[in-house]
Amino acid sequence: MWYKVKRILVGTQQVRPSETVQTFDFQNDWNLWWVWFTKRWTPSYVSWQWWTIGTNSIESYEAWIMPPSSIYKWTLKQVKIWFSKNNVQTSGTGQGAWICNSDLSISCHYTHPRSEWPAILYYTNWSTYFTSAANIYWEIYISYILNDDNSMVVDINWTTYNIWNYASVFRWLWNNKNLCLDICRWGTDAPYIRKVQIKTL
């Protein structure tokens, strides 16, 4: 479902731009035409519940789901993901759901797989950027806020991390219809993507 916030005008100037919010609630609205791509295993949609991946808690699985092409309108402002992360990660294990492109050369995610410490990671062209993050688990949300000054704020359960100068990279993926959600697990239980919200201006 989506709704539009009306423009607010003062005289002839617009003081707040129009916003479109599209909510993809997989627990209440079927799979909503998201498309899966296999990397290591094929993700599955559990009817009226969530997207998940894999069947064996000691194996490694990873794949992408992509939103329907009809949503690529206006300027991307925010992507918010609600997902489960069933336990505290330790060295050699990982669960996650994050935004990336279809070959994973651009990625920004919570809980760096196979790392002892959770992190916000951005990488492209084999360069990396890490920010320490709390090792939270059970149902959490991760929100990517793309600002007009090119900064990107990552909000994880109401704790924010500034990752500067990367908003344009993810908007470029959006403009090229190549913004994906990665879902993965390494040596642990399956994560579940329950809901995704996309805000545009």
Predicted pLDDT of residue 147: 93
Query: For residues 104 and 182, is the Cβ–Cβ distance under 8 A?
Result: yes
Predicted pLDDT of residue 78: 95
Predicted pLDDT of residue 3: 44
User: How many independent structural domains does the chain possess?
Assistant: 1
CA pair distance 80, 54, nearest whole angstrom: 23
| pTM above threshold 0.75 | yes
Predicted pLDDT of residue 154: 93
The CATH number given to whatever domain includes residue 52 is 2.60.120.200
How many helices (DSSP H) and strands (DSSP E) are in the chain? 1, 18
The helix/strand/coil state of 154 is: strand
Query: For residues 46 and 31, is the Cβ–Cβ distance under 8 A?
Result: no
* Highest-pLDDT range among 27-36, 76-85, 182-191: 76-85
Place 115 in a pLDDT band, splitting at 50, 70 and 90.
low
Query: For residues 178 and 2, is the Cβ–Cβ distance under 8 A?
Result: no
Q: 176 versus 14: which is more confidently predicted?
A: 176
* pLDDT above 60 for 114: no
The whole domain housing 136 covers 2-200
CA pair distance 169, 88, nearest whole angstrom: 30
pLDDT in tens, 46-75: 887 888 888 888 888 888 888 888 888 889
Predicted pLDDT of residue 121: 84
